[in-house]
Chains A and B, each alone.
Chain A
Amino acid sequence: NAGVMQNPRHLVRRRGQEARLRCSPMKGHSHVYWYRQLPEEGLKFMVYLQKENIIDESGMPKERFSAEFPKEGPSILRIQQVVRGDSAAYFCASSPIQGSNQPQHFGDGTRLSIL
């Protein structure tokens, strides 16, 4: 019974390149959340998606960042033209249905380093 799978675990990019982070939710989960954890800080919400729909992107930077959760395949968080400040750990979480009392299950994260 696989948990939330994120890949890659570590990603190194040079400034100006693109970063693609993948998240496969737990089996049967159709709700995906992305969070960012900056060094020595807590996790901050970025975006919430259901299959083929972005429900809440209030935490996403207005430029360079995008997310999708297609009908088939993993959810993708895409960062274009990366800058040093994008260095962080990016976590994906999934839940089976929408509801306050449904705990989110987290992946092990992708640690993005920008050279």
Chain B
Amino acid sequence: AQSVTQLGSHVSVSEGALVLLRCNYSSSVPPYLFWYVQYPNQGLQLLLKYTSAATLVKGINGFEAEFKKSETSFHLTKPSAHMSDAAEYFCAVSDQGGTYKYIFGTGTRLKVLA
């Protein structure tokens, strides 16, 4: 069975500082991984996806993530945080058992300090 663990339910960074949100996965097959962002009272917006092509994936709004098979990780980073990045971030793995439903992590709420 596949699973996702997001370490740190709350992360605070100063504006302009590096953002690092952690995601580890468990999968018996090569995974397809996704990062989504959720702003208050809104749905989820796709930031980026890993589908077994390049291990360093660039997404929208300056975010990127690196797939590391040896560490079973897919951490999300952004070199310089902006106030508008404050939101909740979810890592998800696609179930490869046939229905491709998502298994989500519990989310990380990012706070950006002025």
Chain A interface (Cβ < 8 Å from any Cβ of B): 4, 6, 33, 35, 41-45, 48, 55-56, 59, 91, 93, 95, 98-109, 111
Find out whether the CB atom of B44 lies under 8 angstroms from the CB atom of A106: yes
Find out whether the CB atom of B102 lies under 8 angstroms from the CB atom of A107: no
Instruction: Tell me how many residues of B have a C-beta within 8 Å of chain A.
Output: 25
Find out whether the CB atom of B43 lies under 8 angstroms from the CB atom of A100: no
| Complexed CA–CA distance, A44 and B90 (Å) | 12
| Complexed CA–CA distance, A4 and B43 (Å) | 10
Whether a CB of chain A sits under 8 angstroms from the CB of B99 is: yes
State the majority secondary structure of interface residues on B.
loop
Would you give the 0/1 interface string for B21-63, flagging 1 where the beta carbon is closer than 8 Å to chain A? Answer: 0000000000010101000011111100101100000000000
Find out whether the CB atom of B45 lies under 8 angstroms from the CB atom of A42: no
Chain-A contact segment, one of B12-20, B66-74, B77-85, B104-112: B104-112
Find out whether the CB atom of B90 lies under 8 angstroms from the CB atom of A48: no
Find out whether the CB atom of A107 lies under 8 angstroms from the CB atom of B99: no
Chain B interface (Cβ < 8 Å from any Cβ of A): 32, 34, 36, 41-46, 49, 51-52, 90, 94, 96, 98-107
Find out whether the CB atom of B51 lies under 8 angstroms from the CB atom of A45: no
Name the A residues within 8 Å of B43 (CB-CB): 4, 6, 91, 106-109
Name the A residues within 8 Å of B41 (CB-CB): 108, 111
Tell whether A101 pairs with B49 under 8 Å between CB atoms, given A45-B101, A56-B101, A109-B43. Answer: yes
A-B contact pairs, 5 of them (CB 8 A): A33-B102, A42-B105, A43-B44, A95-B100, A98-B100
Find out whether the CB atom of A99 lies under 8 angstroms from the CB atom of B49: no
Tell whether A35 pairs with B100 under 8 Å between CB atoms, given A108-B42, A109-B43. Answer: no
